[in-house]
């Protein structure tokens, strides 16, 4: 393991070092962060494919001292460089997907247009490529007994990682922080859409014992039916329901403990940044009114840790890029730091 004994966390971060200014390398770090520069199927705002690099830069401003996890960083966090070939493939297919989405939005018949049929085929093949690439990257790291987290990119990114996690750990559950259910089947005919990530995970990964969704506030009737017919394999805590329970006297502590009780022993955290109030993520791809304060989510994560359940991995997705400041990346970097601290502490 990397030796950070003599590293002074109070110094100004050296931009030539790795994530959070730590002088780490992949071989010695306990936790490896894999960037997923992919946003092919986003259906509203774009830019998240370049979020990993923006978060990396913003991470230099994160103070390493966290009273809840004062020494977690000493185990070593390392973020891989963005794979430029994957980013270029995402950029190309994103333009193709935009043409396709514009075409179908006008009610046109895809089967009657040879070009659009070809475009759809290419985008769906791109989704398979991305899933395989993520699976291959994460599987090798897990086999080396590394702890692994992903930074997207859109929310389609972690499916391959879920599969590698299932092979490594067997049965597990996902705690999803999100404004959306992401339970749509082949949204806009894209088999691996960002809006289909949890549907695909449930359909393709039998080891996924339970999905607990928290903060949902924008969903379709088909997703509602999927939840109701899941035999409690999917449990959704809707934003309105949480607020109503609090208005009627329940505390967030009570609700958070109930959420944790629904999770199996091994927990994967899937964090879509749009689960937060939009003031914290103004340029996220599909913003929805409502959402959590950051400390509410961190409190929930702490309850997971204190319950004795094991956090086995995480993804952070949909951090936007835009505006005159790096506000979204700044918030994203702080979310990432907390997720890193939680993961290494849970596996200490």
Question: Where do we find the tokens 């930074």?
Answer: 151
72, part of any domain: yes
Which pLDDT belongs to residue 1?
61
235, part of any domain: yes
Rounded to whole angstroms, how far apart are CA atoms 308 and 52? 30
CATH of the domain at 166: 3.40.800.10
248, part of any domain: yes
Which pLDDT belongs to residue 4?
85
User: What backbone torsions phi and psi does residue 345 show, to the nearest 5 degrees?
Assistant: -65, -40
Domain around 238: 27-346
Which pLDDT belongs to residue 180?
97
- pLDDT 10s digits, 257-313: 999 999 999 999 999 999 999 999 999 988 999 999 999 999 999 999 999 999 999
194, part of any domain: yes
Task: Identify the segments of the chain with pLDDT beneath 70.
Answer: 1-2
CA R_g for the chain: 19
139, part of any domain: yes
4, part of any domain: no
Rounded to whole angstroms, how far apart are CA atoms 69 and 71? 6
Which pLDDT belongs to residue 324?
74
Which pLDDT belongs to residue 12?
85
- pLDDT 10s digits, 304-326: 999 999 999 999 999 998 877 79
Q: How many domains does the chain have?
A: 1
How would DSSP label each residue in 213-266? EEEE-B--HHHHHHHHTSTTSEEEEEHHHHHHHHHTT--HHHHHHHHHHTS-SE
5, part of any domain: no
92, part of any domain: yes
Cα 87 off chain centre by: 17
């Amino acid at each position: 393991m990397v030796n950070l004994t003599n590293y002074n966390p109070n110094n100004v971060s050296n931009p030539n070092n790795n994530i959070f200014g730590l002088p780490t390398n992949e071989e010695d770090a306990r936790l490896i962060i894999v960037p997923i520069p992919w946003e092919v199927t986003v259906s509203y705002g774009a830019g998240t494919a370049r979020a990993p690099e923006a978060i990396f830069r913003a991470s230099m401003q994160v103070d390493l001292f966290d009273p809840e996890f004062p020494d977690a960083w000493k185990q070593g966090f390392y973020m891989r460089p963005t794979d430029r070939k994957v980013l270029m493939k995402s950029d190309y297919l994103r333009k193709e997907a935009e043409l396709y989405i514009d075409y179908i939005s006008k009610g046109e018949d895809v089967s009657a247009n040879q070009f659009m049929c070809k475009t759809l085929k290419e985008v769906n093949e791109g989704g398979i490529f991305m899933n395989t690439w993520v699976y291959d990257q994460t599987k090798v790291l897990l086999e080396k007994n590394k702890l692994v987290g992903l930074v997207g990119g859109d929310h389609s990114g972690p499916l391959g990682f879920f599969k590698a996690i299932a092979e490594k750990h067997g049965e597990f559950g996902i705690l999803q922080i999100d404004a959306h259910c992401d339970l749509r089947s082949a949204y806009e005919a894209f088999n691996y859409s960002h809006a289909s990530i949890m549907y695909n995970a449930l359909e393709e990964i039998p080891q996924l014992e339970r999905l607990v969704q928290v903060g949902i506030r924008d969903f379709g009737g088909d997703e509602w039916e999927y939840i109701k017919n899941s035999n409690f394999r999917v449990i959704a805590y809707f934003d309105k329901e949480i607020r109503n329970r609090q208005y009627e006297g329940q505390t967030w502590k009570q609700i958070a403990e109930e959420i944790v009780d629904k999770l199996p022993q091994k927990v994967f955290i899937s964090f879509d940044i749009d689960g937060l109030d939009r003031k914290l993520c103004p340029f996220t791809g599909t913003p929805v009114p409502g959402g959590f304060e950051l400390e509410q989510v961190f409190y929930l994560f702490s309850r997971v840790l204190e319950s004795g359940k094991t956090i086995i991995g995480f993804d952070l997705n949909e951090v936007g890029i835009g505006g005159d400041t790096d506000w979204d990346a700044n918030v994203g970097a702080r979310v990432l730091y907390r997720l890193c601290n939680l993961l290494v502490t849970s596996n200490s």
